[in-house]
């Protein structure tokens, strides 16, 4: 308390106001995991992580959220992060965007959320979000996607696509079709895998056969298998067959 009084006197701010803003900062950037809507088993959150409305953020099992990620949502909007996903450092995930109105300056319309465009945002299973990515309201990042560092994602992305840029666009696919099937067999229960006809539709609709494949289908060597087993033990991870 003495520190807040001394600091407040030095910068000309009442100590109780300084203490209020400090507590608000701690709650927003260093929240307990039980303050979120849900936070799954074996999931990792590297502080500081910013939450506007933590009760409406739902994190599944086996998720990694790197430091300085920001979840910008109101109490009426939800953010979902599904299993096996990694969110890189300094990412921003939003559920609302401001709209300009005639005669109303942004100084007033932004904090009042007047006429905001809002929608829930979902990041699917086994997604890799690179550093400093921004994901806009209503976006659904499909299962298995890779989002390149620094991208601005304004539209939903199909499963196993590789997207990058500002705005982000599809530049490739993660695996060939046969490798997606094998990958899904290894990490998902039978009733949770993408159906063959749905996979055919995705490849046809997004012309996956015509674009670059970024993933690796070479079997792990002995050293790589040992590294994988080491991290499975460290993370108490039992999800992969």
77, part of any domain: yes
Same domain, 82 and 155: yes
When pLDDT is cut at 50, 70 and 90, the band that residue 19 belongs to is low
Same domain, 2 and 89: no
Same domain, 25 and 114: no
239, part of any domain: no
Same domain, 183 and 147: yes
Q: Which domain, by its residues, includes 4? A: 1-30
What is the percentage of the chain residues whose pLDDT exceeds 70?
A: 88
What is the three-state SS of the chain?
CHHHHHHHHHHCCCHHHHHHHHHHHHHHHCCCHHHCCEECCCCEECCCCEECCHHHEEECCCCEECCCCEEECCCCCCEEECCCCEECCCCEEECEECCCECCECHHHHHHHCCCCEECCEEECCCCEECCCCEECCCCEECCCCEECCCCEECCCECCCEEEEECCEEEEEECCCHHHHHHHHHHHCCHHHCCCHHHHHHHHHHCCHHHCEECCCCCCCCHHHHHHHHHHHHHCCCCCCC
55, part of any domain: yes
**Structure confidence by residue, pLDDT tens digits, 134-180:** 999 999 999 999 999 999 999 999 999 999 999 999 999 999 999 99
Same domain, 222 and 199: yes
Same domain, 46 and 132: yes
pTM confidence score: 0.87
């Amino acid at each position: 308390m003495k520190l807040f009084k001394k600091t407040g006197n030095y910068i000309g701010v009442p100590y109780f106001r300084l203490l209020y803003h400090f507590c608000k900062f701690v709650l927003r950037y260093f929240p307990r995991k039980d303050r979120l809507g849900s936070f799954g088993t074996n999931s990792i959150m590297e502080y500081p992580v910013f939450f506007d409305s933590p009760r409406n953020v739902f994190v599944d099992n086996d998720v990694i959220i790197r430091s300085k990620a920001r979840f910008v949502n109101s109490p009426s909007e939800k953010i979902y992060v599904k299993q096996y996903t990694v969110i890189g450092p300094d990412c921003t995930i939003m559920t609302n965007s401001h709209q300009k109105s005639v005669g109303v300056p942004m100084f007033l319309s932004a904090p009042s959320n007047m006429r905001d465009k809002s929608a829930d945002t979902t990041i699917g299973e086994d997604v890799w979000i690179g550093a400093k990515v921004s994901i806009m309201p209503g976006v659904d990042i499909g299962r298995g996607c890779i989002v390149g560092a620094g991208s601005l994602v304004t539209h939903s992305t199909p499963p196993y696509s590789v997207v990058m840029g500002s705005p982000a666009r599809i530049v490739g696919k993660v695996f060939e079709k046969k490798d997606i099937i094998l990958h899904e067999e290894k990490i998902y229960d039978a009733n949770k895998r993408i159906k063959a006809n749905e996979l055919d539709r995705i490849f046809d609709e997004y012309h996956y056969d015509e674009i670059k494949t970024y993933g690796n289908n070479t079997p792990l060597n002995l050293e790589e298998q040992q590294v994988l087993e080491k991290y499975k033990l460290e993370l108490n991870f039992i999800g992969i067959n």
